[in-house]
Chain A
């Protein structure tokens, strides 16, 4: 019986005794994870930052300098994932390193580590790109514009508008977006580290930490509702301002121009061109009409 117990939990070699129970210092890793991409490079992507973030755990698990050196070398190899979701991978790898450090024969744990790390990095990158870059980031602009609209600032929509506006309102818009975004991203970093560390070791660890497809759908819907609200507000303000300030014919022209821009945007998309192409077309046409043909300049709005 005693022999069986000994087989199940192999004794930790003297060199590898973890001084305080072996728990990874998640707080230090969390703070360091903010510098994950500090030395991003094309050869090994996030390797410097990943190793830097993992270092507190490695130092704790490997008091022996030679084993620590080998561990650092392992994590200076290629790694690339979405920066906020990287914490899931970090937590998982910290757990794997802890197991390897504690095992009499670390070879099996080390053998699977590279594969697990790669699999998780790829999976979490796919999720993170869709949540953060694809949805939350554009939503910060929507939040900013909605805050400005609530405060009565439409100067962004009508460049000719010179109504006085409070600096606090101007700063409140982007800061509101940043607060929402940061709350989610910082929480994800911490939660990912915890979840990854808790279930570390398998190539699908923490992938079920949240209902990702549901979150993605909800964010898409929320983003669409806000975009719709912004479009309605913008066209409403434009129509109101145009109808009040000029004849019906001119008002129709003023409303037709944004619709033409919309058409141009869709045409560019259909042709696979970027938004810069549309900007170039608008700028070139304006230069041709107003600066070369010398058509009398007019104010489009207000």
Chain B
């Protein structure tokens, strides 16, 4: 299987898994800790995929999707991180930071998709009055759009990362990104530890 075909399939899979974030199931198949090793496995780098995935998971854990807030997208982050390394040819450390940025930059896209669906309410009301409403169709439409948006977004970022990888002297960044990357597990562990420490010591739970 060529690298391009694998990238296309991985992007499509990321789009599909991304539905689990909000729209369907929500059984955490969209979390970077799962998407990372899975896409890494499909692209021949399971250990690096697992590493990128779990570190993104630990960093993104700070954001909770309450009250309609759009947190950074972990699926996009892990998929871009793994594909930037496996298909884009970036060093794992730079691929990790590219993935993290891609996940954050997906929030405005997600926001616009949600905002666009607000306009559906009036159309649905009209269909209901006319007796032609099929909710299943609207839900399917929402999921197909979201799936296509995320898949396309991951693919676009992968091409962007591949282009960045071709820049002259890009390797000059690697000592710095490698060092910063080696400190990320500790930053993630701090977040994890203090999250539960604060909760465990709360008087009212």
Q: Which residue numbers of A lie inside 8 Å of B, CB to CB?
A: 34-35, 37-45, 47-49, 51-52, 55, 65, 69, 72-73, 76, 80, 83-84, 125, 129, 133-135, 137-138, 140-142, 144-145, 148, 153, 155-160, 162, 165, 167, 170-171, 173-175, 177-178, 181-182, 185-186, 213, 216-217, 220-221, 223-224, 226-228, 230-231, 234, 257-258, 261-262, 264-266, 269, 274-276, 278-279, 282-283, 285-287, 289-291, 297, 300-301
Q: Which of B40, B54, B142, B143 contacts A144 (CB 8 A)?
A: B54
Flag whether B167 is at the interface (Cβ < 8 A).
no
CB atoms of A167 and B118 under 8 A apart: no
CB atoms of B199 and A159 under 8 A apart: no
Q: How large is the interface on B (under 10, 10 to 19, 20 to 34, 35 or more residues)?
A: 35 or more
User: Mind listing 22 A-B residue pairs with CB under 8 Å?
Assistant: A38-B143, A39-B23, A41-B118, A42-B118, A65-B131, A83-B26, A138-B61, A138-B195, A140-B33, A156-B54, A159-B92, A173-B37, A181-B27, A227-B195, A230-B189, A258-B186, A278-B187, A287-B173, A290-B176, A290-B179, A291-B172, A297-B175
Q: Which of A148, A220, A227, A285 contacts B192 (CB 8 A)?
A: A227
**From A213, which residue of chain B is reached at the shortest CB distance?**
B205
Instruction: Give the docked Cα–Cα distance between A52 and B128 (Å).
Output: 13
How would residues 172 to 205 of chain B score, 1 for a CB under 8 Å from any chain A CB and 0 otherwise? 1101111111111111011111111101101011
Flag whether B124 is at the interface (Cβ < 8 A).
yes
A47 contact set on B, CB distance < 8 A: 121
Report the tally of A-B residue pairs with Cβ distances under 8 A: 261
Flag whether B115 is at the interface (Cβ < 8 A).
yes
B63 contact set on A, CB distance < 8 A: 274
Say whether, besides A45-B68, A52-B135, A174 and B37 are in contact (CB < 8 Å): yes
B178 contact set on A, CB distance < 8 A: 159, 297
CB atoms of A217 and B191 under 8 A apart: no
Q: Which of B54, B118, B175 contacts A43 (CB 8 A)?
A: B118
Chain B nearest CB, measured from A294 CB (Å): 9
**From B116, which residue of chain A is reached at the shortest CB distance?**
A41
CB atoms of A39 and B117 under 8 A apart: yes
Flag whether B104 is at the interface (Cβ < 8 A).
yes
Q: Which residue numbers of B lie inside 8 Å of A, CB to CB?
A: 22-29, 31, 33-34, 37-38, 40-41, 46-47, 49-51, 53-55, 57-59, 61-66, 68, 92-93, 97, 100, 104, 114-115, 117-118, 120-121, 124-125, 128-129, 131, 133, 135-136, 138-139, 141-143, 172-173, 175-187, 189-197, 199-200, 202, 204-205
CB atoms of B114 and A72 under 8 A apart: no
Chain A nearest CB, measured from B25 CB (Å): 5
CB atoms of A227 and B196 under 8 A apart: yes
A38 contact set on B, CB distance < 8 A: 23-24, 139, 142-143
Q: Which of A129, A155, A258, A275 contacts B191 (CB 8 A)?
A: A275
**From A41, which residue of chain B is reached at the shortest CB distance?**
B117
Instruction: Give the docked Cα–Cα distance between A139 and B179 (Å).
Output: 28
B177 contact set on A, CB distance < 8 A: 283, 286-287
**From A296, which residue of chain B is reached at the shortest CB distance?**
B175
Indicate the member of A73, A185, A282 with the most B CB atoms within 10 Å.
A282
Indicate the member of A174, A178, A261 with the most B CB atoms within 10 Å.
A174
B24 contact set on A, CB distance < 8 A: 34-35, 38
CB atoms of A291 and B175 under 8 A apart: yes
Instruction: Give the docked Cα–Cα distance between A71 and B128 (Å).
Output: 11
